[in-house]
Amino acid sequence: MVRFALPGFTNNWLVLVKSTAPVSVIGLHDLVWNAFSAGRSTHKLFSFMIAVLLIYLVITGISDLFLHWVDRRYSSGVKRA
Amino acid sequence: MATEQSFFEYLRSFNETASPINFMLIYDNFGRFFEGALVTFELTFLALLVGGLIAIPMAIARAYRKPFFGPAIRAYTCVICGTPLLVQVYLFYFGLGRFKAVRNSSLWDPILSSLWRCVLIAFTLNTAAYEAEFLRGAIETTPHGEVEAARASGMTPFTRMRLVVLPSAFRRALPAYSYEVIFTLHGSVIQAR
Contacts of B85 in chain A (CB under 8 A): 18, 21
Amino acid at B26: I
Contacts of B84 in chain A (CB under 8 A): 18-22, 32, 56
> pLDDT tens, B93-143?
776 766 666 666 766 666 666 778 888 888 999 999 999 988 998 998 888
> pLDDT tens, B58-83?
999 999 888 889 899 999 999 998 89
pLDDT of residue B4: 66
> pLDDT tens, B156-170?
988 999 999 999 999
d(CA B4, CA B8): 6
d(CA B115, CA B100): 18
Kindly tell me if the per-residue pLDDT of B25 is higher than 90: no
> pLDDT tens, A5-60?
988 898 899 889 988 888 888 888 889 899 989 988 888 888 888 999 999 999 99
Contacts of B98 in chain A (CB under 8 A): 43-46
pTM of the full structure: 0.81
d(CA B191, CA A27): 16
Determine, for residues A43 and B82 on separate chains, whether the beta-carbon distance falls below 8 Å: no
Write down the mean pLDDT value for chain B. Answer: 85
